[in-house]
Amino acid sequence: MGYSFKTFLKHTAKDFYNQSVNPPVVRASTILFKSLNDIRKTQKRHLKDPTGGHFDYGRQGTSTTHALSKILTKLEESYHVFLTPTGFGSVFLAMFSVVRPGDEILVSDPVYSPTRILTQDFFKDFNIKAIFYNPRDLSTLKNNITKKTKLIFVENPGSNTFEFQDLSKIISIAKKNKIFTAMDNTWGTPYFLKPIKLGFDMAIVSATKYYSGHSDVMGGSLAVNKRVFKFVQRAEKISGLRMGPDDAYLIIRGLRTLDTRLDRHEINTKKIASFLNIHKKITVLYPFKKGTKDYKMWKKYYKGSSGLMGLKIKSKNKISIDRFVNSLKLFGYGYSWGGFESLALHQKIKEQGKRKYLNLSKDEHIVRLHIGLEDPKDLINDLKSSLKFIK
Ligand SMILES: Cc1ncc(COP(=O)(O)O)c(C=O)c1O
């Protein structure tokens, strides 16, 4: 990269041609050429260098999407980054690229619920079997490997329950058994952890979250190493999963402040986590308690922590959990996260897929908080006045 991550984000993708600080939004379906020979040359160049500014049709991207792909390739320290219209599109593309009928895949038990539905249910129609492993006990990963295992899919930390896994151990098991690996790194982003550098074949980030940062765009990024590049390139071509230039522009704009925002999310979230930690009915699911296994695993791999956390709340009165969330004034109730604003959801995770290793009793409930960039004092005051509803 040459510069530090922070400097690189500010100085990359300048458009010297029209002298603007940011690359222009180039929208195109048809591209015109000087001759048929010119088209053929461009097609060859595109295959060799997919983000080198060579395209014969809008589905191969335009200079705007190529600029974003190049920035992310550097941030990820990967061989290449493919861009998809949503984060989930990148999850789908990663699997679609390497998994075939008759294969088995190992998936961490607490994955994002659409990833669960895709692997647990939808893949059955294609004779692909998903086996879910316990993120806290990697013997359940090792012992379920068969000759048919094609891919290990990791999401770290686990959605809603925030378990942190021993990532190098997973990579070493996969390498020994010649199995592909993919990691959903939306929580950490390459600002805090670079999965390809660590040894994963593929790394997914939902650009909808921290990359864009402003809750007004959707996108996904799939970083790959050289080993899987050809597989993903083939699947991408056939799937038509491509990000549009307007979305790419907004994501480039968001990336300029990725580091600044994430640093602030981390500071705010630690303050809120410490405040909530003293409540006797609440267990905070966030890597800030020294001595815990999750903290050790987080510390081993991550340079920082983002703004998404879980609260495990013990209460026989389920309705009181809804009351607590509903009475928050500064937290919006809505899906997604990673924007500048705080959000809260009472997650019905027992109803989302059949998690095998879910460690949650009948009287325990999960509230997911995204801690935004507001003044943490105001967020704490808001929480303070709502906590009384938990019975
Ligand atoms: C961990 C994780 N991965 C992937 C996705 C999917 O991203 P998108 O909403 O951009 O499709 C989400 C969305 O919430 C997520 O939380």
Instruction: Kindly tell me if the per-residue pLDDT of 1 is higher than 90.
Output: no
169-205: buried (b, 16+ CB within 10 Å) or exposed (e) per residue? Answer: ebbebbeeeebbbbbbbbbbbbbbbbbbebbbbbbbb
Residue 225 is given by DSSP the state: -
Ligand 1 atom closest to the CA of 336, numbered from 1: 14
Indicate the range of 19-28, 156-165, 265-274 predicted with least confidence.
Answer: 19-28
Which architecture does CATH list for 258-387? Alpha-Beta Complex (3.90)
Q: How do strand 180-184 and strand 149-155 relate by DSSP bridges?
A: parallel
pLDDT, tens digit, 9 for 90 and up, residues 180-216:
999 999 999 999 999 999 999 999 999 999 999 999 9
Contact present, 60 and 44 (Cβ < 8 Å): no
* Mean pLDDT of the region 111-118: 96
Report the residue among 159, 161, 209 best suited for mutation to probe ligand 1: largest number of ligand atoms under 8 A from its CB: 209
Handedness of CA 156, 162, 168, 172 (dihedral sign): negative
Q: Which residue has the CA at smallest separation from atom 16 of ligand 1?
A: 112
Cis peptide before 157 (omega within 30 of 0): yes
Question: Is the pLDDT at 227 greater than 90, yes or no?
Answer: yes
Domain 5-255 matches domain 258-387 at the CATH topology level: no
- Which residue lies with its CA nearest to atom 9 of ligand 1? 87
Instruction: Please work out whether the CB of residue 112 comes within 6 Å of at least one atom of ligand 1.
Output: yes
pLDDT at 228 over 80: yes
Residue 352 pLDDT greater than 70, yes or no:
no
C-beta 60 within 6 A of ligand 1: no
Residues 44-60: tens digit of each pLDDT? 998 888 888 888 999 99
Mean pLDDT taken over the chain: 95
| CATH architecture of the region 5-255 | 3-Layer(aba) Sandwich (3.40)
Closest residue CA from atom 14 of ligand 1: 336
Q: Which residues pair with 81 in a beta bridge?
A: 223
Amino acid occupying residue 149? T
Q: Half-sphere exposure of 170 toward its Cβ, with a 13 Å CA cutoff?
A: 32
Residue 242 above 90 pLDDT? yes
- For the chain, the structural domain boundaries read 5-255, 258-387
Provide the 3-class DSSP secondary structure of residue 242: coil
> Which residue out of 208, 210, 215, 221 has the highest number of ligand 1 atoms within 8 Å of its CB and is therefore the one to mutate?
208
Query: How many angstroms is it from 65 CA to the middle of ligand 1?
Result: 20
Percentage of the chain modeled with pLDDT above 90: 88
- Count of C-beta atoms within a 10 Å radius of residue 391: 13
Most ligand 1 atoms within 8 A of CB, residue of 115, 154, 155, 186 to mutate: 186
| Gyration radius of the chain over CA positions | 22
Please work out whether the CB of residue 82 comes within 6 Å of at least one atom of ligand 1: no
CA of 162 to the centre of ligand 1 (A): 15
Cα three-residue angle 235-241-246, rounded to 5 degrees:
145
Q: Any bridge partners for residue 224, and if so which?
A: 80, 202
Answer whether 220 contacts ligand 1 (Cβ < 6 A): yes
pLDDT digits (tens, 9 = 90+) for 67-100: 999 999 999 999 999 999 999 999 999 999 999 9
Which uninterrupted H or E stretch holds 129? strand 129-133
pLDDT at 16 over 70: no
Q: Does residue 353 carry a pLDDT above 70?
A: no
Q: Quick one: average pLDDT of 10-16?
A: 79
Sheet holding 202-206, edge to edge: 80-84, 220-224, 202-206, 180-184, 149-155, 104-108, 129-133
Gap between the Cα atoms of 368 and 360, Å rounded: 15
188 Cα to the center of ligand 1, angstroms: 13
The Cα 154–Cα 180 span in angstroms is: 11
Cα–Cα distance between 333 and 344 in angstroms, integer?
Answer: 5
pLDDT of residue 52: 82
Tell me what the mean pLDDT of segment 133-155 comes to: 98
